[in-house]
Amino acid sequence: MSVPSVKKRLSTANITALKGVRPIVSLTAYTTPVARLLDPHCDLLLVGDSLGMVLYGMDTTVGVTMEMMIAHGQAVMRTAKNACVIVDLPFGAYQESKEQAFRSAARIMKETGCDGIKLEGGEEMAETVAFLTRRGIPVFGHIGLMPQLVNAIGGYRSVGRSDTEADKIRRDATAIGEAGAFAIVVEGTVEPLAREITAALSIPTIGIGASPACDGQILVSDDMLGLFNDFKPRFVKHFAELAPLISQAAEDYANEVKARTFPGPEHTFQVKRQPV
């Protein structure tokens, strides 16, 4: 009697192997219900520290904690059947030393079961990336605009416009690639530079506000779904407009509750008559 095979989720090695084959589809996911809807369509789901802003109303990602990342990583892993799942290391959990980074990454992988971690940084983090990858921690790099450094760079803006800045981003990409990352997010980087970096690296680049020539693309799922109509950066496309639908549904619900038309008989439990 043959045992039916169970389809395995994509691994970090599978993601690397997609470079030059086809574009890599990535989105953020923070909760079980949303991850269940996104998973069949994505190669990679990122439990990003953007959840601090998207779910918790923070102004930046700096206040996100390890406990928050682990809780949401567990939520996504409960339903992911197809996509490779990566969890962000939050600010302050890895910058102090490569040993601190290993302890944080190992904890996240043990407690969530995810496939790897993502950290921000270029040349200055290359030694840490190499330390982690040599010890069995798959690393998703992140260069260009780095949101965890928002306080140091003075806000969110596109990067790579000056020769000095472009040269630094090139060095960052090379350093993280050579350190053993399986892929790199390129964020908020001017298009020609992102295109150049993609051609130069042997590992995939995943663009967000970068170039269509990147090996893949990622967006914050809530942005892509049109849940924040008051926030729409240039690089975001709304593939749906859910905000007005949710608002209208809430209004309709409120009106029916006030009018006592909901719940109706079909939504209530009645006492069953006993046979005589």
CATH code, domain with 76: 3.20.20.60
Q: Is 84 within the bounds of a domain? A: yes
Number of domains in the chain: 1
Active site residues per annotation: 187
For position 97, what pLDDT does the model report? Answer: 98
* Residues in Cβ contact with 6 at an 8 Å cutoff, skipping those fewer than 6 apart: none
Tell me the residue type at 214.
Answer: C
Q: Quick check: 249 pLDDT over 70?
A: yes
What is the spatial distance between Cα 57 and Cα 143, in angstroms, rounded to a whole number?
24
- Domain residues for the domain of 220 are 12-242
Asked whether the CA dihedral 32, 15, 103, 53 is positive or negative, the reply is negative
Mean pLDDT (whole number) for 169-189? 98
Q: Assess whether pLDDT exceeds 80 at residue 72.
A: yes
* Amino acid symbol at 269: F
Contact 44, 10 (CB under 8 A): yes
Asked if residue 49 belongs to a known ligand binding site, the reply is yes
The torsion of the CA quartet 166, 196, 151, 56, rounded to 10 degrees, works out to 170
Domain membership of residue 270 (yes or no) is no
Using 50, 70 and 90 to split pLDDT, how confident is the model at 149?
A: confident
Report the length, in residues, of the chain: 276
Determine what percent of the chain is predicted with pLDDT higher than 70. Answer: 95
Would the annotation count 223 as a binding residue?
Answer: no
CB-based burial label for 214 (10 Å; 0-12, 13-18, 19+): buried
Which of the four pLDDT bands, split at 50, 70 and 90, describes residue 230?
confident
Q: Is 118 annotated as a binding residue?
A: yes
Residue type, 146: M
Assigned domain for 120 exists: yes
Tell whether 256 is covered by a domain: no
pLDDT, position 151:
72
**Range in 62-71, 80-89, 151-160, 213-222 the model is least confident about:** 151-160
On the question of pLDDT at 216 being above 70, the answer is yes
* Averaged pLDDT, 255-274: 92
Residue 169 tokens read as: 């981003």
Report how far residue 43's alpha carbon sits from residue 158's, in angstroms, rounded to the nearest whole number: 26
Q: Is 237 annotated as a binding residue?
A: no
Please indicate, yes or no, if residue 17 is contained in any of the structural domains: yes
Torsions phi, psi for 189 (to 5 deg): -110, 135
Q: Residue 134: inside a domain, yes or no?
A: yes
Q: Is residue 269 part of a domain?
A: no
* Confidence (pTM): 0.93
The single-letter code of the amino acid at 191 is: E
Q: What residues contact residue 1 under an 8 Å CB cut-off, 6+ apart? A: none
Residue 235 confidence class, pLDDT cut points 50, 70, 90: confident
Residue 4 within a domain? no
